[in-house]
Every structure is written in C-alpha cells, then in structure tokens.
Structure 1
Amino acid sequence: MAAQLPVPVFTSLDQAIPDIQTAAVQAVRYSQLVEEYEKRFGHKPTYIARAPGRVNLIGEHIDYVLFGAFPAAIERDILIACGPSLSSESGATETSAPGGVRAQNLNPKYDPQTFAPMLKSAGPSAAEEADAASAVHAEPAWHLDINTRELRWESYIKAGYYGVLSRFFPAALAGSDKQDHPVPVDLLFTGSVPSGSGLSSSAAMVVASTLAFLTVNNKLDGVTKGQLVEMAMENEKRVGVNSGGLDQAASVICTPHSALYVTFFPQLGAELIPLPTPRTTPRAVFVCANSLVVSDKVVSAKWHYNLRVVETLVGARVLANKLGIQLGPADRPTFREILSRWLGTPESELDTDALKVGIERFLPEVEKLRPGHEGRPAGEEGVTMQEMIELSGLSAEQFHKVYLSWVEVEAEYFQLYKRARHVFTEALRVIEFRDVCLRANASSDAPPADTLQQLGALMDASHESCATLCESSCPEVDALCWLAKAAGAYGSRTTGAGWGGCTVSLVAEDRVEEFIGKIKEGYAPYRELEGERLREASFATKPSAGAFVLKLDA
C-alpha cells in the first residue's frame, strides 16, 4: 500500500527526478539554493527537503468528514535546504537554546526568523506530561509561539516542528542529557507554489518543514509516508486550520503520472490511479489558473473553512438524531461515520463499490435536514445558532464544549442541509471519477473516446455544487470556470479551500497555449500580465512525485 512505503531519500537529483529534461531545469534551482545557503549561514546544507503543492481534481470539502478525494501532486513545490546549525559552536546565542532555529527565505518579502522551542516548567508535572506525550503523542513538554490570528510564514515552520518535538523529544526536560534534545537547525526556503492560490502552499510548507526537522535530527528512518501525512495533518491544525488530510496525502504519497484516491475511514488509505492517456484522441493535461483573489484559510477561517467544518459536524449529529442513531453527549461523529452506522458497518472498511451503493441509498435521508420556512426569510435553508443547538439534542453548554470550544466560527444562519447535500453528492462524484479512470486504464485498446468528456462533466458538476451548496467559490473563480469551458476545456472547477485561489481545467495537451491565450484575453486581471507573470498565474501541470529528501555530499 502506498501509505506504508518509506519516505524516499535520494543521493542524486536524477534519482529523485527521472525525467532528464525536468531534472536539468531543477538542477539549476537546487544548486542556487545550496550556494545561497552557504553564503548566508557559513556552512553547506546536509539535505534538501522537498514537498509539492497539489491540485484537487475532484472531492472538495469532504475530506474532513472522512470521505475520499482525488488529488494529484503538481510540479511546483517548496524546497528547504537544511542542516545542523554551527552558530552555537562559534559562540552565537540565537540558537544556543535546545533546538534553536534560524530560518530564511529566498523571497525577500519574508523576513528572516530566529526562534527556539521552550521547555515548559520542569519538575514532576512536566515529567508526567512528557510521559503522556511519549505514550499517545499528546502535547509535548515544549512550547512554540504560533499566532493563529495573524498569518506569518514562520508559523508553518513552527507547526512542522511541533510534530517532531512531540513524537521524538517528549522527555527532553531541563537537566536531561543533550541527546534528548533536538539539534539547532539552519533552514533556507524557496517555493514555486503561489501563496493563497488554492494549490496548498500551506500544506507543502508544513510537510517540507516536518520533513526537514525529521531529517536533520536523524529521525526519518522508519517513518512511512502515511505517518508523515498524519504528522503533517496534526501540525497544520496548530496554525488554526482544521485540515482533513487531503492536501498532505497528495503532497507526500503521489507519484508521477498518477492521481491519488485517498480515503480516511476507518484509517488513512491511498490508491494510486493512473490518469487515462488516450491514444486515439489528444492527450490531456490539467491547467491551473489563479483567480488572483488571495484565499487564506487562516485569516478567513471563522467565516469560511472552519465554519464548513462545524456545519458538517453538527449536521452529522442532527441527522443521526433524526435517523434514531444513538450518540453520547460528547460524541462528534462525521457524515462518513454516520453513514457506516446507518448501513450497519460501523467499524468495517467498505470496498469502493459497496460505498457507492451505500451513498446512493443514503442520499434521500439527507432531505431530513431541510428546515421548514416558518420563522425564516423566504428561501433560507439555514438554521440559527439556537435552532442548531436544539436540533443537536445537547444543552447549550455541552454544545459549545463539543462543537465550538476548539474553533471560532461566525454566521447568522448555519447551512446544515446544503453542506450535507454537497458532501454526499461530491463523494459520489469522486467514486465515479475513479471508476472512469479505472475503466479507461483497463481497456485493452485505446481508452474510450468519451473518457475525457466524462471526467470533464464530473468536474463541472463538482464546481456547481461547490458554488451553490458548499458556497466555497467566488465570482472571479466562477468567471474563470465559464471562460475555461468557452475556451475548449473538457471540464473546469474550483480547487482547494475556495473563496478565491485557483481553478483546474482538463485541457487537450495540444491546445494548452491557445487555451491560456483565450483565458488571458477573457479574464480582465490577466490582460496586463506578460511573460513570467502570466506563467505564474496560469500554467499546465502533470502529476508529480510526492515529498522526498535529497541527501547532499558532505
């Protein structure tokens, strides 16, 4: 299984990037990063940690309720040159504390950062906390200040560090042997994933940072891809985003030429699915187009991303009550878990065909979440906070503890029905997308001529649901999807957290240049873009390899 494979460590770039042409281009970039690292820190790096961004082909806002999605890693990525700091040996004080970090970025808009994890108060309480962390990966005896209300680039580095500290240095208390402490580290970042574009630059940052700290501290040996995904998921939550794991799984597990059917129930699963390559019709690639509307999950979380998380979780409890499924007062089940309880398979892993049949049977039950219109504006299908609490069957105090004590959200009406309808129909589309790919790949001859049209139609339906039921699109993204269809795309949809960011369109490979030209002409924010600025905004990509480490010569 793909998730059980070790995180790859390469000793040469041609091992990491088998395509000769791509490797030649990237070799220049890697060499420049190494040279700049030595200039800034006075010594050579020992490793480069790499994590790609991702494009989600279909399956939006359903991973955090444990339904599967269909992402692919992209060629754009985050690179971190890293190595043990030598500053403490020369008497410098900024990294003299255990595990001190000096982090710099080739992009001048990100200021250099110096910080160190702080040991919590020593003594019996700290020792007990460390024991607990060692046993269950609970909070470690370390503290790193992360401001979840203000987006700062170093927050993602700290988030990646936390997971390494909690899993591998839980007993590092004051007065313990130095071998129990993380080493001081120098990091130099560069990235080609546009920030806030919906291509998951944040997850790539956290994955790469986690990987860098694991590697420099000699803790990578024995860590599987699945374990790295789980660590990165937990780490990104420390920045204030309740990620479901789709982004991290794609960034870590993907391989060239394949997308990833990633599932989360009853545990993480990842199935590499080769994308169809028709031989009698033009090959297709995915074109990412940045709306240039910055979508920051952290800053807008209480109105957007985290609100959707809470709406779907509360919707699952309310639906369970209406279906007569018994829940404890502290339970916080997801829609995927409620489906399994309703099907009578609460602990079982259904195969994909059985899951598809189960979702189709369950869909009519979602209508039980549609509220009446008495006492609310015409056409309003949401419920107020007070109505939501009453529907949950919990007291206001218990409701707050279970659903609101760990996250901040803000809304006048909470859209339990719309979100549920999106979740279950989108989960079906993901399975159908997978099925189309598998049927095409199983064909002894060329894949059916209508394969790309089928995939495109599913992408179009997904965008419609994201726009009207999940309400995670925006006018600019809707306009880009419409323009993409007019320019000849087989299908087009929003990708990523939403409310801006990128679209992804399925386009015939031999028409990419013409396609991007039509988008530039039709989308007003692109009209002044030329050269590299246009290539940054709209570009074709093929599925890329997932995260890896490049070990450098000493």
Structure 2
Amino acid sequence: MAAEQPIPLYTNLTELYGNLGTSLNHALRWNDLAEEFQKRFGRKPAYIARAPGRVNLIGEHIDYALFGVLPAAIERDILIACGPRVVPTSVPTPEPHHTPGSVIAENLQTKYPRQIFVPARRLSTAQEIGEDRVHAEEWHLDINTKELRWESYVKAGYYGVLNHYFAPSDLATTQSDKLPIPVDLLVTGTVPAGSGLSSSAAMVVASTLAFLAVNGKLDAQSGEITSSAVARLTKGELVKMAMENEKRVGVNSGGMDQAASVISNASSALYITFYPTLKATPVPLPAGSVFVCANSLVVSDKAVGAKRQYNLRVVETLVGARALARILGVPVGEKERITLREVVGRLLGEAKGEELDVAHLMKGLERMGREVEALRPKTHGEGDEELGVTMEEMIEISGLPEDLFQEVYLSWVEVEATHFQLYKRAKHVYAEALRVLQFRQACLDAAKHSVDGNTTLETLGQLMNESQTSCAELFECSCPELNDLTQLARQAGAFGSRLTGAGWGGCTVSLVAEDRVESFIEQIRDTYAPYQGLEGEALNEVIFATRPSSGACVYKFD
C-alpha cells in the first residue's frame, strides 16, 4: 500500500530531480534556495522539505458525501530550506530566538515579512512531583484564524511535531534531546495562492516535514529506533498529521488535499476513497497526456459565500441522502446524518466497516442514477424552483419533526436559501461518483491493454466535460468565467476541460495532447479576456502545464 511507505529522504540530487517531473527547472530552484539560505543565515541548510500542490482531475463536491475522488499532485510546490540554529552557550540577555524550539521564518517573497516565534509550554504546578518541577500540559503557538498570515501555516505544521514527538512527560527535563531544536526556515513556492490548487495544504505538509527533519525524526530506517529518531514516518501517518495540523488554521479538511500532496507518484493520479476509511491507490495516466491549469482570476471567498454556496451544498446533499433513504426503505438512525455513499451501500447490503468492490459500486451508482428521480419534485412551474423545495417541504420530506431536523441538519451550520435543491445535488453526486470510477477504469485499461492513446484521452476528456456540465447545471458551483474558460479550452483543442476545486472561481484543468500544449496556451491567452497582453512570467503565473508529480519528500545535505 502506498500509504504504508516511508517519506522519501533523498541524499542524491539526480535521483531526487528524476522523481519531480520535467516541466520546471528544479535544479536551479533548489540551488538558488540553498544559496539564499546561506546568505541569510550564514550556513547552508541541513534539509529542504518539498510538498506539491494538487489538481483534482475529476470528482468535485463528492468527498464529503464519502465518494472517491481522483486528484494528482502537480509539479508546482512549496519548498522549505531549514536547519538547526546554533545558540550561544551564554549571553548577557537571552533573545527569544535563543530558546529551545524557537523559529526564525523567512520567505523569498518580499511581501511576506520575517517572523520569529517561540512555542510556549502551558505549565502548571504539579505538587505530587515536588514544587521544584512542573508538568507541561500542552504546547501553544498563537495562530489568528480570522486573519490568516503566511506563517500561520508554518506554525500549524509545527504543532503536530511538538505534540506528537515532544510529549509532556519529556518536558520536565532539561536534556537537549528531549526538547525541540531552534530552527531557521526559508520558504518559497510556485503554487498560486487562492487558486484551488491547495497551496495551503502544501505549506502545512512541507512545514511538518521541515520540523520533523531538523529534529531528527526522519533519519532512522524502518524498524530502527534510536535515542534521537523514531521509525520512519509513513505517508499515511503524515497525511493524518497534516490533516490535524491544518485544522489549527480553521480548515476542516476531508484529507484529499493532504493525501494527494503526500502519497502521489510521478505519472499517476491518486484514487482516494473515504469510506469506510481513508485509502489511496495510484492510477497510471496515459502516455502523452498533459494537464493545463488556468486561473479564472475570480476569487471565491468561502467564508463570505458559505451560507449560499459550500455550506448550503453540504446540507442539501445530507438532507437529500436522508430523503432518498426514506423513499428506498434504507434504515437511518433518528439523529444520524447519513451520506449519499452510505445510502447506496446499505441498499446493496454492504456490511458496516466493509467496502463494496468497484464493479458492484459502479452497478449501484448506475441504479442510483435512476432511483434519484424519486427526489424530483412533483410540482410543475417555471424556473429552477420547480426542482427545489421550500424549508417546510424539505423538513416534511426528511420525515423528522421540525425541532429534530433543526438539531441534526442546521444547528452546526448556517445556510441561506428560499429553495433547496435536493434532487439536483444528489443527481450530480451519484453521476460524478460514477464518472470518477469510469475515468479510473479507462486509465487502468489503457495501462494493461494496447488501447489507442487518443481513444483513451477522448474518453477521459468526455468525462471531464460531463463533469463540468454537471457542476454548472446541477451542483451550480461554476461561474461565468469558469464556463467561458472551459469552453475556450475545448475550442483550443483540449480533449476535456472542467473546473477544479470548490468552484465559484479559482482554476480550470484541461486535458491536452503533449504536442499541443504551447499552441493551446497561446490560444487561451488570446481568447480569454483577462489574459490578453500577458507574457512571460506574468502569463506563466495564471496558466501552466503540469504532469502528475511525485509526493512530498525531504532532501538531506551532506
């Protein structure tokens, strides 16, 4: 299993670069970062930690319904050069950065100012062990979740390392190997922020790895335990830690972003499932396929639009699942928030804790495509409202009394709508979940059999186009600019093009033949109004080609 493999720790640059893809000059970036670290801190770094961004190829807004998705790591990434800081043995007035675990964090982008922070131990007198000793309750780092700053993601990564590897019982001692090491960091990145390519998850993963590396927690080989290192951390363990860490900045993640950044292999997408547990398996992509990411330059603020967008969709899919289960006679607990994935599983006799095989799940999803029609409102009228229901109608459909409905579905989230589109959302989720499995199967068939390359790419492209139509018309998470970009991409020769990420702005991803990439980007530049006039690096910031990249890793300097 890919999740059980250890985090790659390289000491050979040739091997490292060979696993990162070819469209970026990795050697130049890594060398420049190391040289700049030496200029700023007076010594070369001990490590460089890398974590890539990700693009979701297909499977939008179905992860929180517990259906599998198909992202891939991209070649653009976050790099953090890091090293232990030498602290003077005696100084007249110790500075904050002289204390154990202190961090000096700098960023190559000048808009991000230098930061110095020190993890604090919350201490309380423990009389049972004597007044001269204290017991550390937990570590604390100040993170303002209302005003996210770049260093907040660095701190979030540090939290996990402190809490997992520097236990309170170790902190009553002054032994240096029991305390975190003072660290210098220099960060750079090529993942566009706020574009739906998971720059935040990449930052948290890279930060977590940097602090693990500097503190000697990645050096031991599997099964080997030393006083300063533990058995090599697995990729699955890092995913779980990064998910916990990112919650420190107020992001409740389902795990797709972190799994794609950590577990991915070069040339492969990653099929990630969430039920009954999080699992990830590589899916080889056809030779000659290149994905082009294009930023619509529309920023979707989840916090501002949540009541009418993301949070509303979550509630609609959950209530739709209960209503459909009730219609089909699927048992649901009174206060249970059953998901659309669990509805199909229970309908097909899937035991708790077990997982349907892919063939049975595909047949089940085909059936659900028909069964979901039972959610279509019987009333007739004009406009989209004919497919939606009012709050009163939704409560009636759920079969719950109003007070219990409010407790189960609305007490934990704020939504705003006059009509709730249970039918349209459920129809999208089941169809999209099936498209993910069809996309996966087409890739596997191409890898096993002598299937014509263009035929496979056309199949994948058609699935991507169907996904975009469903996102726009059924899930209504697109926007005019995304619709425009995907249409222009098809006219420019893409096999398929769709939004990627939550939507309502952000990026599109287009499947393009390898020999058409350059002309494709030029045509999009000339036809998408916000790109006109952009050249060189300015153009490269908003539209770029990428192949699937390998996941997170660490390079150790001699």
**Where does residue 492 of structure 1 map in the other structure?**
497
Counterpart residue type for residue 437 of structure 1? C
**Where does residue 440 of structure 2 map in the other structure?**
434
Counterpart residue type for residue 188 of structure 2? T
Deviation track 1:248-292 (CA, whole Å, cap 9, x = no partner) reads 111111111111112122222222121112xxxxx3311111112
Distance 2:273 2:376 in 1: 28
1:447-526 paired onto structure 2 within 5 Å? 447=452, 449-526=454-531
Counterpart residue type for residue 546 of structure 1? G
Asked whether the 8 Å contact 2:385–2:419 carries over to 1, the reply is no
Q: How far apart are 1:229 and its partner, in Å?
A: 1.5
TM-score (norm 2): 0.87
**Where does residue 103 of structure 1 map in the other structure?**
105
Distance 2:63 2:456 in 1: 25
Distance 1:315 1:216, change over 3 A: farther
Q: How far apart are 1:374 and its partner, in Å?
A: 9.1
Distance 1:378 1:224, change over 3 A: closer
**Where does residue 209 of structure 1 map in the other structure?**
207
**Where does residue 161 of structure 2 map in the other structure?**
164
**Where does residue 112 of structure 1 map in the other structure?**
114
**Where does residue 143 of structure 1 map in the other structure?**
140
Distance 1:92 1:35, change over 3 A: farther
Distance 2:415 2:85 in 1: 41
Q: How far apart are 1:205 and its partner, in Å?
A: 1.1
Report percent identity of matched pairs: 61
Q: How far apart are 1:446 and its partner, in Å?
A: 5.0
Q: How far apart are 1:425 and its partner, in Å?
A: 0.7
Asked whether the 8 Å contact 2:492–2:524 carries over to 1, the reply is yes
1:5-84 paired onto structure 2 within 5 Å? 5-18=5-18, 22=22, 25-84=25-84
Check if 1:353 corresponds to 2:359: yes
Q: How far apart are 1:413 and its partner, in Å?
A: 4.2
Distance 1:381 1:162, change over 3 A: farther
Q: Bigger radius of gyration, 1 or 2? A: 2
Query: Aligned pair count?
Result: 535
Distance 1:414 1:359, change over 3 A: same
Asked whether the 8 Å contact 1:59–1:68 carries over to 2, the reply is yes
Distance 2:206 2:263 in 1: 13
1:193-204 paired onto structure 2 within 5 Å? 193-204=191-202
Of 275, 287, 294, the residue aligned with 2:285 is 275
**Where does residue 272 of structure 2 map in the other structure?**
262
Counterpart residue type for residue 108 of structure 2? L
1:306-325 paired onto structure 2 within 5 Å? 306-325=311-330
Distance 1:43 1:124, change over 3 A: same
Counterpart residue type for residue 331 of structure 1? E
Q: How far apart are 1:333 and its partner, in Å?
A: 3.4
Distance 1:250 1:268, change over 3 A: same
Distance 2:471 2:535 in 1: 31
Q: How far apart are 1:16 and its partner, in Å?
A: 1.3
Q: How far apart are 1:301 and its partner, in Å?
A: 4.4
Distance 1:300 1:182, change over 3 A: farther
1:183-198 paired onto structure 2 within 5 Å? 183-198=181-196
- Stretches of structure 1 that go unaligned for 5 or more consecutive residues are 128-133, 135-139, 278-282
Distance 1:181 1:526, change over 3 A: same
Of 528, 532, 549, the residue aligned with 1:544 is 549
- Find the residue that maps to 1:223 and give its secondary structure: coil
Deviation track 1:14-38 (CA, whole Å, cap 9, x = no partner) reads 1212179949932221122122223
TM-score (norm 1): 0.87
Counterpart residue type for residue 515 of structure 2? D
**Where does residue 131 of structure 1 map in the other structure?**
none
Distance 1:186 1:319, change over 3 A: farther
**Where does residue 225 of structure 2 map in the other structure?**
none
Counterpart residue type for residue 354 of structure 2? S
Q: How far apart are 1:314 and its partner, in Å?
A: 3.8
Q: How far apart are 1:177 and its partner, in Å?
A: 5.0
Distance 1:409 1:42 in 2: 53
Distance 1:249 1:88, change over 3 A: farther
Counterpart residue type for residue 540 of structure 1? A
- Find the residue that maps to 2:18 and give its secondary structure: coil
Check if 1:155 corresponds to 2:152: yes
Distance 1:274 1:378 in 2: 40
Aligned CA-pair RMSD: 3.1
Q: How far apart are 1:457 and its partner, in Å?
A: 0.5
- Stretches of structure 2 that go unaligned for 5 or more consecutive residues are 130-135, 219-230
Distance 2:284 2:446 in 1: 10
Of 399, 411, 422, the residue aligned with 2:428 is 422
Q: How far apart are 1:422 and its partner, in Å?
A: 1.5
Distance 2:308 2:144 in 1: 18
**Where does residue 226 of structure 2 map in the other structure?**
none
Distance 1:14 1:314, change over 3 A: farther
Asked whether the 8 Å contact 1:276–1:447 carries over to 2, the reply is no
Q: How far apart are 1:163 and its partner, in Å?
A: 2.6
Distance 1:147 1:9, change over 3 A: same
**203-212 or 176-185, which deviates more:** 176-185
Q: How far apart are 1:440 and its partner, in Å?
A: 1.5
Distance 1:12 1:173, change over 3 A: closer
**153-162 or 184-193, which deviates more:** 153-162
Asked whether the 8 Å contact 2:380–2:386 carries over to 1, the reply is no
Check if 1:4 corresponds to 2:4: yes
- Find the residue that maps to 1:379 and give its secondary structure: helix
Distance 1:403 1:253, change over 3 A: same
Of 338, 345, 353, the residue aligned with 1:340 is 345
Counterpart residue type for residue 99 of structure 1? G
Distance 1:334 1:341 in 2: 11
**Where does residue 253 of structure 1 map in the other structure?**
263
Q: How far apart are 1:393 and its partner, in Å?
A: 5.5
**Where does residue 218 of structure 1 map in the other structure?**
216
Distance 1:95 1:514 in 2: 51
Distance 1:441 1:98, change over 3 A: same
- Find the residue that maps to 1:540 and give its secondary structure: strand
Q: How far apart are 1:407 and its partner, in Å?
A: 5.0
Distance 1:385 1:548, change over 3 A: farther
Deviation track 1:63-102 (CA, whole Å, cap 9, x = no partner) reads 2222111111111100011223335756653335553332
- Find the residue that maps to 2:144 and give its secondary structure: coil
Distance 1:368 1:377 in 2: 20
Deviation track 1:302-341 (CA, whole Å, cap 9, x = no partner) reads 5433443343334334433444444445533332223222
